[in-house]
Amino acid sequence: MKIAPVVLAGGVLVALAACTSPNTDSSTVVEIDGKAESAAEFVNAGCTRTGDSITIGSGSVQTARGIGAMLTEGNPPTVSSLFIATGGNVMTVLNTPVGQVGSAKASKAGNRYTITGEARAANLSTKKFRVEITCS
């Protein structure tokens, strides 16, 4: 069960790395089990492209809330990993050759990505989620 801290640390790094350039024009949407999280908590959206990979992040260090995702461009894009922190809850999706935790599907319309699926929470429960974020 040592994978959780590694995934958590990786998710934090992804979210912070992607948030280096604030994107004040985006409206990030985060829903957990159908309940909308406060949009004000998921600020400074950022996206970084390297080849066909894209790293997406949005969040606030002060409130311990954020998202980080790594996708591969395609039609549709594929999700390699996703991390969501909602203050008191941390959830992950991991889709690698080594193993899978949770599940996620992505779609893209213009510069807006939508990621949906089921993430594994720190208490090992499964939570349905929906994330929408705009990359500039």
What average pLDDT does the segment 102-111 reach? 95
- Decide which of 96 and 69 is more confident: 69
- Per DSSP, which regions of 20-111 are E strands? 29-32, 35-36, 46-50, 53-60, 65-72, 78-86, 90-95, 100-101, 103-109
What average pLDDT does the segment 104-133 reach? 95
CATH 2.40.128 is the classification of domain 3-134: yes
For residue 15, is pLDDT > 90? no
* Domain ranges across the chain: 3-134
